Amino acid sequence: MNVIHGEGKPRIIIDDPAIHTNTVLSATSSTVTLTTAVDLTTLDSISVVIGRVVTSYNSANETTRGKITAFDDSTDQLTVVSWDNGTPANTKSVTISYVQIDLPYCQSLIEKWTPDFIYKKRFNGEIVRMKRGYYYSANLDYSGFADSDLVSSLRGLYLLSTNQILFYPRVDNQSVVYNVDIAPDTEFQLMQAKRHSGHKLITINLIGVVRLTKINLQTLSTTGYGDAPYGGSSSYGYGDVL
């Protein structure tokens, strides 16, 4: 391999609490219909439904998940990309939980690790250095072109209620993950391209909220933090080190 850490597209997980719990009335390979009526349109406008992951259980009572791509308020039906472990069984619980933003390749992805040092100058002129770690940041550049699907997928990232954000720079190596937030010193810009063909100026600027003990420069290493900060959780169904 010519690069470290992988070659996949970026993914952002917004680890929100569940926004709705219901029961499976029926399900297919790409849908689930809820037993109890819910105003999905209002729920989407407040907390974002499209792009969230719905979790249920198959006939063997094993967890199965799917990413929501659409909903029908008239039938209380959710459409998903697919189920990762079989179709949910009738009467099983179903929960709408975290947001999963699967991004296309950037025009450029710039990752930075800024050292956190303390310098003290002694009376004799010697400078004492205390290295405390590094802070991660990433710039995802879509300023040349972004379509409406990409723009809409970012809704959850910019909600005021959004707090816990996990960033996977390359989805083919989900062991490299960073706890981030939107950088406070940047603006979100949006401009329509010529002939309304799409959008320009969009960049996503993320900053790490956990100080790292090192810069990970190992090829396809086991974790972006070096110490599995999320306890080896597999609650997202996308690996063992989140």
Verify that 127 and 201 share a domain, yes or no: yes
Mean pLDDT of successive 10-residue segments in the chain (242 residues)?
A: 85 93 97 96 94 96 97 97 96 96 95 91 86 95 92 91 92 92 90 87 95 85 40 38 30
Verify that 192 and 113 share a domain, yes or no: yes
Hey, how many other C-beta atoms are within 10 angstroms of the C-beta on 175? 19
Verify that 86 and 22 share a domain, yes or no: yes
Verify that 112 and 66 share a domain, yes or no: no
Burial of 60 (0-12, 13-18, 19+ CB in 10 A): exposed
Verify that 134 and 57 share a domain, yes or no: no
Beta-carbon contacts of 231 under 8 Å, excluding residues fewer than 6 positions away, are none
Would you state the pLDDT for residue 175?
87
Is residue 226 assigned to a domain? no
Is residue 164 assigned to a domain? yes
Which is nearest to 90 in space by CA: 47, 42, 34, 151? 34
Would you state the pLDDT for residue 5?
86
Length of the chain: 242
Residue 9 near residue 104, CB atoms below 8 Å: yes
As beta bridge partners, residue 106 has none
Domain boundary, last residue among 54, 71, 102: 102
Q: Which domain holds residue 172?
A: 108-208
Distance CA 141, CA 158 (A): 17
Would you state the pLDDT for residue 216?
86
pTM of the model: 0.84
Would you state the pLDDT for residue 238?
37
**Buried-state track 201-227, b at ≥16 Cβ within 10 A, e below 16:** ebbbbbbbeeebeeebeeeeeebbbee
